[in-house]
Chains A and B, each alone.
Chain A
Amino acid sequence: MSWAYFWSLFSISLHAMVPITITAVGEVIGESAGLFNIGLEGILLLSAFTGTLGARAGGPLLGLLAGLATGLGIGLIFGLICAYWKGSQMIAGVGINLFALGFVAFGLQVLGSPGFYTVPRAVQLPPIRTAVGAFSPLIPLALVLPFLVHFVLNHTRLGLKIKAVGENPEAADVAGVPVELVQLLSTAVGAALAGLAGAYMSVSWLGSVTKEISAGRGFIALATVVFSGLRPLLALAGGLLFGFFESLATWIQSLPGIKEAVPWQFISMIPYIATLLVVAGVIGRARFPKSLGVPYRRE
């Protein structure tokens, strides 16, 4: 294997890691506060689309911002429904996913190209060019973010409040912490990060938007959160692992003889099977907030 090839695989790895890591770290925040958002997939899809719109309108940064705002908006709605109105988190998450599927397909049709839209090169996020290849600026962000979130959750008062709300909302309430507000903001921030990840996919990495651009990554992020046991640094590890599997798939295909013998469809399955194996192997060892998924009702 030549160095150039190695670096290109490495680049795939890092690029694939970004949406998983950012989304997973965001969900870690939300789940630490006790809210379980399975609508991440929908947020990724939706913000990939709105990111494209934003980029078309005002350049790549606006695109990223649009994605972030989309995630934030959905997160606020989700938080309102689930934290304040004590709605079912699972059902709301499914609603978000369905809505996203419909809305993005609808939007793509309106844009004139049903199912597929290429983001004009001009408004894609320019990559950082190094000696070994082109890397998206969001990669370093995705590498730093877990450390930031780890610091906030474990070494600040804010983090203390968030974790208290997820673990024992009654104790938090008695201590004077505004439980619902903390839950709302935590899940909104988490969703905003997922929004950023979605916009990244269209504006910075893949350069296009399709109906299936999220490809289950929202759920893989959820699996990563499970794997991480709500530890942001482990979420980074999970994201890197997933990125590795994606590049592994590419590499396997390039091996002599493989391309003819093994159909590409089976290679594509690798990330999903791998995720399954990791989750199956790890469950039972992780420890989750006692009040995860349970709406807090004052007695």
Chain B
Amino acid sequence: MSWLWRGLRPVLESVLAGVIGLGAGALIMWAWGYNPWPAYAALFRESFGSGYGLASALANATPLILTALTFAIGARAGLFIIGAEGMMYMGAMAAVALSFFRLPSGFHAVFALAFAALAGIVWGLVPALLRILRGVHEVISTIMFNWISHFLAFYLVANVLVDPVRAEKTISVARTSRLPLLLRGTDLSLGIVVASAAAFLLYVYLWHTVSGYEIRAAGANPHAARYGGVSPQKTVLLVFLLGGAAAGLAGAVEVMGRPPTYAVYSGLTNIAGFGFDGIGVAMIGRIHPLGIIPAAVFYGGLQAGARLMQMEAGVPFEMVRAVQGVIVLALALPELIRLFRVFVRTLSPKRRPV
């Protein structure tokens, strides 16, 4: 039965961390004078209690899955790539830019996705090379590129891709390039299929191809991997390539699949944050592509329900990101379950020897 425990254990740890996170959220709410119970009730009711809410959860999960994949594949190779945010902006820009061209429906969307993926890859190229050639730690290089991308996107949104009629947004993605909606009246588009397919493909890649095997080996034991013939430089390049593509796709699905405007707003307000949230999602999903999907749905649900929580209980919706932060902190502990058992033991009343 040990294999069952082995598979179940990370799930339990994530659940436990989730509980801790929600608990911390409740504490904060209570400290600021809000009542946590109706807040959480509204939160969960909205996100998971209604079909509508579930559709919203899935729609939110779409870009999260992809940005989480970026971090996850890096982590599997032993790299700390936190540049999904910047890569995602470039992907969104690329997807919008392609709408300047006329292409038949269907093809247009495919090309847009491909172009966006390429944009993400290009954005990751320099940090990858800096790491290989100069040993620059990817944490620093990818964050700098995030900020460069932030400003570049600002410029593109305001000047190059701007909608001539409504200057506070870019041109809308052409109808031929939009992702079809799966459920009328919701935000849920084909993007979720794209994202899930990407996650599934990445799973197959990592566990069923030789190249994926080598990436995992390099991350798990660089010495043994080198002994087994794995090239560390090729690993870095490959991982940035795949991660960049995923993040680029995230930006694309967000503009191509979000009614009613199908555009990016100035200030990047409608796409900002997915990159960072993706890191948290990746950790909750234990950096496993198949675990990322439910983790993204969970977090997407929290985000979806947060609006109702704000409306009904008055708790500002950003609380969910704070909760996510605590969940990740809890996951930083190496043996969460063991510590939990120790904690429980210290709580239980001591028995008197009879």
Q: Which residues of A contact B (CB under 8 A)?
A: 38, 42, 77, 81-82, 85-92, 94-103, 105-106, 109-110, 114, 215-216, 219, 222-223, 226, 263, 265-266, 268-269, 272-273, 275-276, 279-280, 283-284
CB < 8 Å neighbour of B147 from A96, A222, A272, A284: A272
Neighbouring A residues of B329 by C-beta, 8 Å: 77, 81, 91-92, 95-96, 99
Neighbouring A residues of B80 by C-beta, 8 Å: 90
Instruction: State the Cβ distance, B151 to closest chain A Cβ, in Å.
Output: 4
Q: How far is the CA of A95 from the CA of B155 in the complex (A)?
A: 31
**Stretch in B187-195, B289-297, B317-325 touching the partner:** B317-325
For residue B134, CB closer than 8 A to chain A, the reply is yes
B32 nearest in chain A by CB position: A110
B273 nearest in chain A by CB position: A101
**Stretch in B106-114, B207-215, B228-236, B330-338 touching the partner:** B330-338
Beyond the given pairs A95-B327, A265-B151, 19 more chain A to chain B contacts, judged by CB atoms under 8 angstroms and listed by A's residue number, are: A38-B139, A81-B329, A81-B332, A88-B332, A91-B283, A91-B328, A94-B82, A95-B328, A96-B325, A101-B318, A102-B318, A106-B315, A106-B318, A110-B32, A110-B316, A265-B158, A268-B151, A283-B134, A284-B135
Instruction: State the Cβ distance, B147 to closest chain A Cβ, in Å.
Output: 5
Find out whether the CB atom of A98 lies under 8 angstroms from the CB atom of B136: no
Instruction: State the Cβ distance, B94 to closest chain A Cβ, in Å.
Output: 18
Find out whether the CB atom of A85 lies under 8 angstroms from the CB atom of B339: yes
Find out whether the CB atom of A272 lies under 8 angstroms from the CB atom of B136: no
For residue B182, CB closer than 8 A to chain A, the reply is no
Instruction: State the Cβ distance, A87 to closest chain B Cβ, in Å.
Output: 4
Neighbouring A residues of B319 by C-beta, 8 Å: 102, 106
Neighbouring A residues of B322 by C-beta, 8 Å: 98-99, 101-103, 106
Closest 6 A-B residue pairs measured CB to CB? A99-B325, A102-B321, A102-B322, A109-B316, A95-B329, A95-B328
B246-281 CB mask vs A (1 if < 8 Å, else 0) is 000000000000000000000000000100110110
Q: How far is the CA of A205 from the CA of B327 in the complex (A)?
A: 33
B124-158 CB mask vs A (1 if < 8 Å, else 0) is 00000010001111011101111110011011001
Q: How far is the CA of A105 from the CA of B276 in the complex (A)?
A: 15
Neighbouring A residues of B19 by C-beta, 8 Å: none
Neighbouring B residues of A77 by C-beta, 8 Å: 329
Known: A103-B325, A269-B148, A272-B147. A97 touches B276 (CB 8 A): yes
Q: How far is the CA of A157 from the CA of B143 in the complex (A)?
A: 36
For residue B159, CB closer than 8 A to chain A, the reply is yes
Known: A226-B140, A263-B155, A266-B151. A97 touches B325 (CB 8 A): yes
Find out whether the CB atom of B326 lies under 8 angstroms from the CB atom of A95: yes
CB < 8 Å neighbour of B279 from A98, A114, A226: A98
Neighbouring B residues of A114 by C-beta, 8 Å: 316
Neighbouring B residues of A86 by C-beta, 8 Å: 334
Q: Which residues of B contact A (CB under 8 A)?
A: 28, 32, 80, 82, 130, 134-137, 139-141, 143-148, 151-152, 154-155, 158-159, 273, 276-277, 279-280, 283, 315-334, 339
Find out whether the CB atom of A91 lies under 8 angstroms from the CB atom of B130: no
Between-chain CB contacts (< 8 Å), 29 pairs: A81-B332, A86-B334, A91-B328, A94-B328, A95-B280, A95-B325, A95-B328, A98-B325, A98-B328, A101-B321, A102-B319, A102-B323, A102-B324, A105-B316, A106-B28, A106-B315, A109-B316, A216-B143, A216-B146, A216-B147, A219-B143, A223-B140, A223-B144, A265-B155, A269-B148, A269-B151, A276-B144, A279-B141, A283-B135
Instruction: State the Cβ distance, B169 to closest chain A Cβ, in Å.
Output: 17
Q: How far is the CA of A222 from the CA of B143 in the complex (A)?
A: 11
Known: A102-B323, A266-B151. A91 touches B331 (CB 8 A): yes
Find out whether the CB atom of A94 lies under 8 angstroms from the CB atom of B279: yes
Q: How far is the CA of A68 from the CA of B145 in the complex (A)?
A: 30
Find out whether the CB atom of B325 lies under 8 angstroms from the CB atom of A101: yes
Known: A94-B328, A265-B155. A216 touches B283 (CB 8 A): no
Find out whether the CB atom of B334 lies under 8 angstroms from the CB atom of A88: yes
Q: How far is the CA of A263 from the CA of B162 in the complex (A)?
A: 15
Instruction: State the Cβ distance, B282 to closest chain A Cβ, in Å.
Output: 10
Q: How far is the CA of A97 from the CA of B273 in the complex (A)?
A: 12
CB < 8 Å neighbour of A219 from B144, B283, B316, B327: B144
Q: How far is the CA of A106 from the CA of B321 in the complex (A)?
A: 9
Neighbouring B residues of A97 by C-beta, 8 Å: 276, 325
Find out whether the CB atom of B140 lies under 8 angstroms from the CB atom of A222: yes
Instruction: State the Cβ distance, A232 to closest chain B Cβ, in Å.
Output: 19
| Residue of B315, B319, B320 with most partner-chain A CB within 10 A | B319
Find out whether the CB atom of A283 lies under 8 angstroms from the CB atom of B136: yes
Instruction: State the Cβ distance, A227 to closest chain B Cβ, in Å.
Output: 10
Q: How far is the CA of A87 from the CA of B130 in the complex (A)?
A: 28
Q: How far is the CA of A88 from the CA of B330 in the complex (A)?
A: 10
Neighbouring B residues of A276 by C-beta, 8 Å: 130, 140-141, 144-145
Q: How far is the CA of A265 from the CA of B339 in the complex (A)?
A: 48
| Residue of B139, B277, B317 with most partner-chain A CB within 10 A | B139
Instruction: State the Cβ distance, A80 to closest chain B Cβ, in Å.
Output: 10
Q: How far is the CA of A102 from the CA of B303 in the complex (A)?
A: 12
A273 nearest in chain B by CB position: B148
Find out whether the CB atom of B152 lies under 8 angstroms from the CB atom of A98: no
Instruction: State the Cβ distance, A215 to closest chain B Cβ, in Å.
Output: 7
Q: How far is the CA of A94 from the CA of B139 in the complex (A)?
A: 11
Q: How far is the CA of A226 from the CA of B158 in the complex (A)?
A: 35
Find out whether the CB atom of B332 lies under 8 angstroms from the CB atom of A95: yes
Find out whether the CB atom of B323 lies under 8 angstroms from the CB atom of A263: no
Q: How far is the CA of A77 from the CA of B326 in the complex (A)?
A: 11
A268 nearest in chain B by CB position: B151
Known: A102-B322, A273-B144. A94 touches B334 (CB 8 A): no
Q: How far is the CA of A81 from the CA of B158 in the complex (A)?
A: 44
Instruction: State the Cβ distance, B95 to closest chain A Cβ, in Å.
Output: 20
